[in-house]
Structure 1
Amino acid sequence: MNTARVCTICPDRPTCTAICPDVEAILPSMEAGRIDHEDLPRLWRGMMFTRAILDHDDILTGRQQDVVRLYYREQKDQKEIATLLDVTQQAVNDALERARTRIGDFLKAARKKQARV
């Protein structure tokens, strides 16, 4: 339903002072997609970890690289990846988890090494 059309045919239009329920129902919610400041650190960590996975995919196995590329770069979901690679969705999930763990371990080791220097 178009807001202009609703308002155009509304008999109360000449004296309208507030948004009526019909128009309010078709307006986007101000809360939809809202991010609170408490969410920012978690989102930042997720973004940085995703960048780390993509930057260091050379330490992953070939299968993990394929899954990571399809998941993070091409934004395929696990079911699509499973179909493309002719494996189960669980195998895709396992490969993603192993890739995340491997990158996480790599980053921890790099931080420890840097702290010693």
Structure 2
Amino acid sequence: MLRKFSLITYFLASTVLASDVGDHKAGIWSIESAQDMTRWIIIHNIESDANTAVFHIEVIGRKHGHAVWQIERLVHHMAITEKALKASVKIPLKSGAVYPESFNHAYLSWQKENNGMGGAICDTSVIECF
């Protein structure tokens, strides 16, 4: 009985939280963790991304047991559809950030691909695209 309640609660919570991707101003969300690492995404430029339905994110992580400042950049930039992003996020976090320089550099490189039209856009999930 408890397992059934937990599953129902999880599905209801994940549906509600995922629907507010553009409204979560902090822009940092937890995503599926790896066996040895907790992972998050940071959505950059939320306001403009929400209008285009393509979000620009960075994926970060920290190995279990490591200090809070020992963050690894797993993906410097990823363009992702709103549907794929909603399928990926778990819980919004109230705070957290990293310096944006590596994201900005990777984003500029992505913009230059295909004669300035931009590069690939993930349309499945964050985990499947990196």
> Given the two structures, how large is their TM-score scaled by the length of structure 2?
0.25
Q: Which has the higher contact order (CA 8 A, sep 6+)?
A: 2
> Given the two structures, how large is their TM-score scaled by the length of structure 1?
0.27
Higher strand share: 2
